[in-house]
Structure 1
Amino acid sequence: MSDELFVVTVTYSPGPHLNRFLATLSLATDRPVTVIMADNGSTDGAPEEAVERYRNVKLFRTGDNLGYGTAVNRAVAEFGLTSCTDFFIVANPDVQWGPRSIDLLLEAAARWPRAGALGPLIRDPDGAVYPSARHLPSIIRGGMHAVVGPVWPSNPWTTAYRQERADPSEREVGWLSGSCLLLRSSAYAEVAGFDERYFMYMEDVDLGDRLGSAGWQNVYVPSAEVLHDKGHSTGRDPARNLAAHHVSTYTFLADRYPRWWQAPLRWAFRGALGARASLVVRNARRRARRS
């Protein structure tokens, strides 16, 4: 296996975020790095400018806006990453890398030989810690988070699900934010990568669940830090993105309760998520009109 480290990022008109992503990458590791941009149809010229400016950047055009997980899968297959390297990084182009963040993830991977995915501590632009390492959403915990979260953000189910009060210690978790992951190639190959039914949202929850079911671990490594400007992707059309989030949530939950006698449970999921989606989308559109 090569010492070269591959970083896959999915671009869709990333603007100035992409340059900050690439400029700070030198802080994250001393290893030689190749960045693969899986481009989902950018029109702002940022990916092309990045190829001209950075010698270690490759542009892979997916041919359409395929969504996050599908674009990652296509790039991994195109460059044969699961056979040429032990680990690779998947990260959003609006991430900024902290000092030694990738090296610290790799060091943790050596301590956790069954870790299929490892994720850093993620900070919002204001410096707050984003709850990126969470439990898997159970019927009660996940369901109550989904239903009452919009009207009661501090409810105990949301707090437990997001592990907001847990100390930032290195530990195994249910799933990790897909905005920045170190993935073990053998684990990724074993579970066939991201589930391509998810256009956006929940593909990272699903991946973490399937890794765990296959005997791999999802490990939170808060000694490694990155900053994530998550408003880049959600801010373009928040109402549409909120609706997509609820569709993906139903897909995830329905998969976990597929038997015929669980149909009433799936109907309940669909009804509750539909009501929640109507509420949050309506509120998002109202805020957009006011602004």
Structure 2
Amino acid sequence: MNQCKKRIGILDMLNKKLSVIIVNYKSADFLEKCVALVREKINEEFLEEIIIVNNDQKEKIELDLQDNLKIINNAKNVGFGAGNNVGAKLAKGDIVLFLNPDTEIISTEIEKVIALFNQDNKIDIVGSQLRLNNNEVQPWSAGHEISLINLIKNNLGLVKSQKIWKAEEEKMVDWVAGTALFIRKDIFEKVGGFDEKFFMYFEDMDLCKRVRETGKNILYNPNFKVRHIGGKSYQEKGFQKRDYYKAQEYYFKKHRNFFEWLIVRIASKFLY
């Protein structure tokens, strides 16, 4: 009986297909290697398709258009979350991997990530360990729920979440970064996808929070490693700072109490 269940579990795992969605903006130079490593590191029996959503009208994407690669050109830069939503509507896979264009997949055992979803039906999102160019773990790739108290502590150098992103074993967490985020396609649709009011930043925290509110779990998986080159979508740091604080303010307005939102709103006015 146990052997039978085990065989069924393996077959179920093999039947799971993965759609990889990559949103491009000013990162076309990184796409060729990013896509090549997706094809190299993810066994074709698990890979349903690669969908590239191009938010940059000035960049022409020239890639080998194999059967499982689709390119969607948006008329304007609709933002990170909205761009991913466009791709997700076309995705055919059971699991979606949202992947930044300036990333390089390091790990090879994608079947172990898919197995995590099969082993526990309460796990709906799995986050990856992000590595910088110097091979150090990227800060703020997973963490605890954001609050005013945690925000103040973070700015004082008392970062509680660093124990999470430095962990060497799997951990249930409040959020994981959207840089390399796996999610069940059905739950993504159930919660309404990314909130498109977040143009850039905090859309991953918001998605994770809404998934947790359905009673499901978020897993940080340091065993699946992805290199993140980072910081290529913004040439003007002033615009990056503005978008960050606007998104932070909206997150607090949406998920925290009025007092916390008001303090963050006032503080933001002095920062951008």
Question: TM class by shorter-chain length?
Answer: 0.7 to 0.9
Which amino acid in the other structure matches residue 56 of structure 2? Answer: G
Equivalence for 1:21: 34
Identical columns (%): 22
Equivalence for 2:4: none
Q: Is the 8 A contact 2:48 2:93 kept in 1?
A: no
Q: Deviations over 1:28-58 (max 9, x none)?
A: 221234111111134232x2x11x4544321
Equivalence for 1:208: 208
The alpha-carbon distance between structure 1 residues 9 and 270, as it changes in their structure 2 partners (threshold 3 A), is same
Structure 1 gap ranges (5+): 279-291
Counting only pairs closer than 5 Å after superposition, residues 164-203 of structure 1 correspond to structure 2 as 166-203=166-203
Q: Deviations over 1:246-267 (max 9, x none)?
A: 0000000111235xxx3x4432
Structure 2 gap ranges (5+): 1-11
Aligned length: 256
Shift of the alpha carbon at 1:101? 5.0
1:54 & 1:238 partners in 2: Cα distance?
A: 36
SS in 2 for 1:206: helix
Counting only pairs closer than 5 Å after superposition, residues 29-108 of structure 1 correspond to structure 2 as 29-30=42-43, 31=45, 32-45=47-60, 47=61, 49-50=62-63, 52=64, 54-77=66-89, 79=90, 81=91, 84-100=92-108, 102-108=110-116
2:165 & 2:108 partners in 1: Cα distance?
A: 26
Normalised TM-score (structure 1): 0.81
Equivalence for 2:256: 257
Shift of the alpha carbon at 1:233? 2.2
C-alpha RMSD of matched pairs (Å): 2.1
Normalised TM-score (structure 2): 0.86
Q: Deviations over 1:69-88 (max 9, x none)?
A: 011112222x1x3xx43211
Q: Which has the higher helix share?
A: 1
Q: Is the 8 A contact 2:22 2:98 kept in 1?
A: yes
SS in 2 for 1:246: helix
Q: Deviations over 1:169-226 (max 9, x none)?
A: 1011110000111111121112111001000000001111111111111101111111
Shift of the alpha carbon at 1:274? 2.4
SS in 2 for 1:93: coil
The alpha-carbon distance between structure 1 residues 104 and 95, as it changes in their structure 2 partners (threshold 3 A), is farther
Equivalence for 2:7: none
SS in 1 for 2:269: helix
Shift of the alpha carbon at 1:107? 2.1
